[in-house]
Structure 1
Amino acid sequence: MTEGDAVAGPGIRVRLEGNVSGSDVGALRKWLEQEQALAELLRDRKVRVEERHRTDAPAGHMGLGTEILLVIVETGTTVTVASLTQHVERAVRAWLANRRRVESGEQPRPDIRELDSDES
């Protein structure tokens, strides 16, 4: 997905703020895709995971220029933005706990929000 592309469907956006390494966004995306509840939604094609360049990130910052989108792709599905947000929040907390075990220093701060209507 390129900058400026629209995202089809409701969903949520995950950004990492603060002390973010160049590999954090990719590692978090992989973690999200492997978490059981999210993996099932992905396998059943009810949710799609995308990365896109942020338009609000300061230039020249590694890792900060990308955000992760989890988009609900089936309109008649039982997946809601609220339930998707709960799954993602749990998965991000688990990822941060795991990251603390392997990397020292200040941890990234996740920002998990519903996609704005102009983003979808």
Structure 2
Amino acid sequence: MAEGEGVAGRAIRVRLDGSASNRDIDALKAWLERENPLEELVADGRLHILEQPRSDAPPGHMGAGMEILLVLVGAGAEVIFGELLEQTGRAVAAWRENRRRVEPGPPPEQRVDPVNPGEE
């Protein structure tokens, strides 16, 4: 998916709270890209995992100003969307637990939400 393209298909937004760093965002994105079955969907071209500026960050916001967007495209996107949403939630929880073990301080809180069509 080219930069600047709108959301095509169903999407899931992953946001970390204000304690998150850009390093946390990068690490979580890499974790999601390696997580099965997300990795398989990316390899098949049916899922794009993108970083984008947060749309809800107020001026002067501290912490990471990015969020992760998982965009499911192609035939059958609606059929597997619910399963993908659950898998993404489990993958983010696993990343948080891993971060708790390898990084000092508590991991950032997260939100995993479906994106309404037309919303970015």
For the aligned pair, the TM-score class normalised by the smaller chain equals: 0.7 to 0.9
What is the alpha-carbon distance in structure 2 between the residues aligned to residue 99 and residue 39 of structure 1? 20
What is the alpha-carbon distance in structure 2 between the residues aligned to residue 55 and residue 12 of structure 1? 14
- Hey, what does 1:11 align to over in structure 2? 11
Uncovered stretches (5+) of structure 2, i.e. residues with no partner: none
- The reply to whether residue 80 of structure 1 matches residue 87 of structure 2 is no
What is the alpha-carbon distance in structure 1 between the residues aligned to residue 57 and residue 78 of structure 2? 34
Q: TM-score, normalised by structure 1?
A: 0.86
- Hey, what does 2:26 align to over in structure 1? 26
Uncovered stretches (5+) of structure 1, i.e. residues with no partner: none
- Hey, what does 1:94 align to over in structure 2? 94
- The reply to whether residue 35 of structure 1 matches residue 35 of structure 2 is yes
Aligned partner of 1:106: which letter? P
CA contact (8 A) 1:32 1:91 kept: yes
What is the alpha-carbon distance in structure 1 between the residues aligned to residue 101 and residue 75 of structure 2? 39
What is the alpha-carbon distance in structure 2 between the residues aligned to residue 37 and residue 72 of structure 1? 13
Deviation at 1:104, TM superposition (A): 2.3
Instruction: Report % sequence identity.
Output: 43
Aligned partner of 1:113: which letter? D
CA contact (8 A) 1:19 1:106 kept: no
In structure 2, relative to structure 1, the CA distance for the partners of 1:95 and 1:13 (3 Å cut) is same
Runs of 4 or more, structure 1, over 3 Å off, are: 76-79
Question: What are the superposed Cα offsets for residues 29-61 of structure 1, whole Å, 9 maximum, x if unpaired?
Answer: 000000121101111111111111112113352
Aligned partner of 2:114: which letter? E
In structure 2, relative to structure 1, the CA distance for the partners of 1:67 and 1:30 (3 Å cut) is same
User: Number of residue pairs matched?
Assistant: 117
Structural mapping, 1:43-58, within 5 Å: 43-58=43-58
